[in-house]
Amino acid sequence: MKRNKILVSALAIAFSSMVLTPVSGLKVFADTADVNVNIDTNAEKQAISPYIYGTNQDFSNAKVTARRIGGNRSTGYNWENNDSNAGTDWKNESDNYWLTLYDVPKEKYNEPASVYTAFHDKSLAMGVPYSLVTLQAGGYVAADQSGPLANTDVAPSSKWKKVEFNKNGPLSLTPDTTDGSVYMDEFVNYLVNKYGSASGSKGIKGYSLDNEPSLWPSTHPLIHPDKTKCSEVLDKDTQLAQVVKKIDPAAETFGPALFGFSAFNDFNSSPDWSSVKGNYQWFIDYYLDNMKKNSDAAGKRLLDALDLHWYPEAKGGGQRVTTSDTSNVDCNKARMQAPRSLWDSTYTEDSWIGQWCKWGLPLIPKVKSSIDKYYPGTKLSFSEYNYGGEDHISGGIAQADALGVFGKYGVYFATYWECNSDKNNYVQSAFNLYNNYDGNNSKYGDTDVKCDTSDINNSSTYASVTSNDGNKMDIIVMNKNYTDSINFNFNVSSNKNYTSGQVWGFDSNSSNITKRDDVSSISGNKFTYKIPALTAVHIVLTTAQKSSVKGDVNGDGVVNGRDLMELRKYLAGSTSNIDLNAADLNNDGAVNGRDLLELIKLVFEK
């Protein structure tokens, strides 16, 4: 049932994963095979972070819960005048491109930080609860809009302003653009002054400690021509985190935004890695351990989230899965298997990582083990990731699978990086499968529960319940088989008796999410549902409910003032635990102010 202001519903997603030809133990279905899915709503329960459904670039037609402003250009952004430098992404050009990219009104071009304020204002207007913004630590930022720079324009020079973490003086809301420096404490203070603390409803929640520092010599050779040292990024992140915590203790810090496995391992063969490695297995261990030591010395946590970027190196048919070319069927199949590198110890991807660095996979358990050992309590973030094939069913399934993995394995924050902006309908549908599967903003549940499939090659499955609605369970299921349908046999262990199920999904014929046949013949929480090849569905199971008495919003058998109070709370968004059928007094399929008026009349009549 629809609701005017806040729509809270449980959503279930179970995914069925596709075949990667080299994978051992792969089943080849002759026609329709059976896969067993066992769900236990009382096992492995853990909250799903609301911030895993995020993006770096805005979608045209998908619901998101987090937004990030970052990328290579963020390293050279000057908050005082809003000029930035593209680095080697585009001719080392300094310009005002970000002002247009983020739709800054022309009358605000000269306002400090207007790129970031326009970005965060949009988050607030969209109802997105989490903005992650990137601070600068590379050393220098664009001084002006002087266009493409010559190879001789290496910082320090007139083309750059020096980045200082602390001003060591009064912080101004009108920064001095003539002093040759930009100050990070003044930057954070400006944003906090405008929006309030991260603890408030409008404050910026998170700050990223720059972007992909191990790549600075290649992405920004004029800002940072020398190879970045491990000790350098540790020192800079410590200082910059202290700046954030000093000005807004409630804000979260994310670092070091490592670009990929080479950075995870030895910080891209950093010149000082051999001297600092000691007994650490990889750079992640070194970074976590020393950020913990520096936090202890500072008397406060300095790193809230370990932030990684993940563009899979997995290949199929000789082609990397991150490509937008979907003509290679073996690559498409490999793409749907690639999310298994995040969690599955039985899977070996076809990549240099799978061949030479298998010790670092599966990635999430490996990283969490490092966190537990060296800096317990640190959250895990993937502020950039992309599985390729963004406008193909294989890309849609891989994206939906990744979102399921993030929820099941406790990722805190994730923002997808768009590589094919003109064609990413399947990726958008993967997000909507969780956040807007029925077109009414209905969502997947907020609590993950145990959900296992008997065939992880051909299927992926996830299940959740909603903490304030005990009558629903959401299941996400994906059939990754390239040619054949699968009969999924579900066995649900629960203290609830589920009696009906509705299904929505997308498939290889269309990225549009459509209503599918309902689940039939549920008996003893067991049922079978046939899912076609290359299809992702969201199944919503519901329990039998007693027939509603119109107006008995709180279900206590009496229509009175208490029901009025509950309906008012519902419309204000402070509760969702009401009988929606009883609250829809005018039977128009929506619960809104008209029903409140009807209930007022009914209560006074009684």
User: Do 591 and 583 contact (CB within 8 A), yes or no?
Assistant: yes
Instruction: Mark out the alpha helices in 148-209 (DSSP H runs).
Output: 184-195
Q: Which of 10, 162, 12, 5 is nearest to 537 (CA)?
A: 12
CATH number at residue 272: 3.20.20.80
Q: What pTM did the predictor assign? A: 0.86
Distance (Å, rounded) from C-alpha 90 to C-alpha 424?
A: 24
Number of domains, the chain: 3
Counting DSSP H helices and E strands in the chain, the numbers are 17, 29
- 20: in domain: no
* Nearest alpha-carbon partner for 302 in 342, 249, 349: 249
Do 170 and 244 have their domain in common?
Answer: yes
Q: List the one residue out of 338, 342, 401 whose CA is nearest residue 368.
A: 342
**Does pLDDT of 22 surpass 70?**
no
- Shared-domain flag, residues 384 and 456: no
Pick from 410, 433, 456: which residue ends a domain? 433
**Same domain membership, residue 457 and residue 422:** no
Three-state DSSP state, 219:
helix
Instruction: Please enumerate in sequence order all residues whose Cβ is within 8 A of that of 391, keeping only pairs 6 or more positions apart, or say none.
Output: 324, 326, 420, 423, 424, 425, 426, 427, 511
Q: b/e map of 201-224 (b: 16 or more CB within 10 Å)? A: eebbbbbbbbbbbbbbeebbebbb
Q: Residue 162 corresponds to which amino acid?
A: K
**Could you tell me where the DSSP H helices lie in 107-225?**
114-126, 184-195, 216-219
Phi/psi region, residue 127 (left: phi>0; alpha: psi -120 to 50; beta: rest), is left
Cβ within 8 Å of residue 201, ≥6 positions away: none
480 and 386 in a common domain: no
Mean pLDDT score, 1-13: 32
In a domain, 568, yes or no: yes
Give me the domain span that covers residue 573: 559-603
Task: Report the interhelical angle of 329-337 vs 393-408 (nearest 10°).
Answer: 10
Query: Of 540, 569, 592, which marks where a domain is finished?
Result: 540
Q: What is the pLDDT of residue 557?
A: 74
CB neighbours of 107 closer than 8 A, spacing ≥ 6?
none
What is the set of active-site residues? 212
> Are residue 533 and residue 564 in the same domain, yes or no?
no
Residue 528 forms part of a structural domain: yes
- The per-residue pLDDT for range 536-561, each reduced to its tens digit, is 999 999 997 655 688 888 877 789 98
Kind and range of the H or E element at 133? strand 130-135
Segment 319-330 mean pLDDT: 97
Contact present, 82 and 67 (Cβ < 8 Å): no
Residue 66's pLDDT is: 98
Is the residue at 23 inside a domain? Answer: no
40 lies in the same domain as 52: no
Q: 362 lies in a domain?
A: yes
368 and 454 inside one domain: no
Of 42-56, 228-242, 270-284, 553-567, the least confident: 553-567
> What is the average per-residue pLDDT within 108-128?
98
Provide the pLDDT for residue 285: 98
Is residue 519 helix, strand or coil? strand
What does the pLDDT read at residue 589? 63
The pLDDT tens digits of the residues spanning 50-73 come to: 999 999 999 999 999 999 999 999
CATH number, domain of 485, equals 2.60.40.1180
Q: Residue 9: pLDDT above 60? A: no
